[in-house]
């Protein structure tokens, strides 16, 4: 039995979340290392497509590669971040997840931007020759642009080095825009 990209992404998101929960002290202390590793992994999957070449076992359309390039892993990490808010307060798991929630969110944003870069050809065409794109790609590009515009302030304010300059009430109000982002993400995925 082989797994598809979404199933692989679910498993990967659960493993990443579990490892980060177990290593939460190190994750909080070395969050920039976590972000750099995420960026390097995302670039590993995206750059060959952007630069027009393929790397050995990643050539073609393997489900593992698609978990990254189609944005499935970033969506699953966003789902973990969203579900933390609805877990019962008395659960120890919620407390542990809240401690790594920002890091998971930034990782998901980095991978989502990598997903956008993977399809950069369509974005360039969207702005230079939109008539050559079919309706699906026009919709996907427009939805991705809206999502990226919503995601940038949410990502920036999730960095601890930025968040510490906000009043708690202001930061919380801004982060409530994530609900709009999640709805737009569902529309993009289901579109």
* DSSP state string for 5-58: HHHHHHHHHHHHHHHHHHTHHHHHHTHHHHHHHHHHHHHHHHHHHHHT---GGG
Task: Indicate if 27 and 98 belong to the same structural domain.
Answer: yes
pLDDT of residue 49: 79
pLDDT of residue 1: 64
Task: Indicate if 105 and 140 belong to the same structural domain.
Answer: no
Q: Which residues contact 191 (CB under 8 A, 6 or more apart)?
A: 139, 140, 143
Task: Indicate if 134 and 97 belong to the same structural domain.
Answer: no
Write the CA distances from 16 to 9, 27, 37, 103, 133, integer angstroms.
10, 11, 12, 11, 36
Q: Considering its fold, how many domains does the chain have in total?
A: 2
Task: Indicate if 130 and 90 belong to the same structural domain.
Answer: no
Tens digits of per-residue pLDDT, 139-165? 999 999 999 999 999 999 999 899 889
Burial of 20 (0-12, 13-18, 19+ CB in 10 A): buried
Task: Indicate if 38 and 56 belong to the same structural domain.
Answer: yes
pLDDT of residue 52: 76
pLDDT of residue 61: 76
pLDDT of residue 81: 94
Task: Indicate if 81 and 19 belong to the same structural domain.
Answer: yes
Task: Indicate if 160 and 87 belong to the same structural domain.
Answer: no
Among candidate residues 83, 112, 141, the one where a domain is terminated: 112
Among candidate residues 112, 146, 168, the one where a domain is terminated: 112
pLDDT of residue 64: 87
Could you count the other beta carbons within 10 Å of the beta carbon of residue 79? 16
Task: Indicate if 78 and 6 belong to the same structural domain.
Answer: yes
Task: Indicate if 86 and 3 belong to the same structural domain.
Answer: yes
Task: Indicate if 73 and 144 belong to the same structural domain.
Answer: no
Which residues constitute the domain of residue 46? 1-112
Task: Indicate if 93 and 5 belong to the same structural domain.
Answer: yes
Task: Indicate if 68 and 124 belong to the same structural domain.
Answer: no
Query: Which one, of 82, 114, 94, 95, lies nearest residue 181 by Cα?
Result: 82
**List of the chain residues with pLDDT < 50:** none
Among candidate residues 66, 94, 112, the one where a domain is terminated: 112
């Amino acid at each position: 039995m082989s797994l598809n990209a979404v199933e692989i992404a679910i498993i990967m998101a659960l493993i990443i979340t579990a490892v980060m929960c177990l290593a939460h002290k190190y994750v909080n202390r070395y969050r920039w290392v976590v972000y750099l590793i995420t960026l390097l992994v995302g670039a590993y999957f995206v750059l060959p497509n952007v630069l027009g070449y393929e790397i050995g076992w990643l050539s073609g359309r393997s489900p593992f590669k698609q978990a990254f390039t189609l944005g499935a892993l970033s969506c699953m990490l966003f789902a973990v971040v969203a579900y933390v808010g609805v877990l019962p307060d008395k659960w120890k798991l919620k407390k542990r997840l809240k401690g790594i929630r920002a890091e998971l969110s930034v990782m998901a944003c980095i991978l989502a931007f990598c997903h956008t870069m993977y399809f950069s050809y369509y974005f360039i065409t969207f702005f230079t020759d939109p008539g050559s794109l079919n309706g699906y790609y026009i919709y996907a590009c427009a939805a991705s642009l809206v999502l990226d515009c919503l995601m940038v302030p949410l990502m920036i304010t999730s960095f601890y080095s930025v968040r510490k300059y906000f009043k708690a009430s202001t930061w919380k109000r801004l982060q409530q825009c994530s609900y709009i982002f999640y709805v737009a993400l569902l529309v993009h995925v289901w579109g």
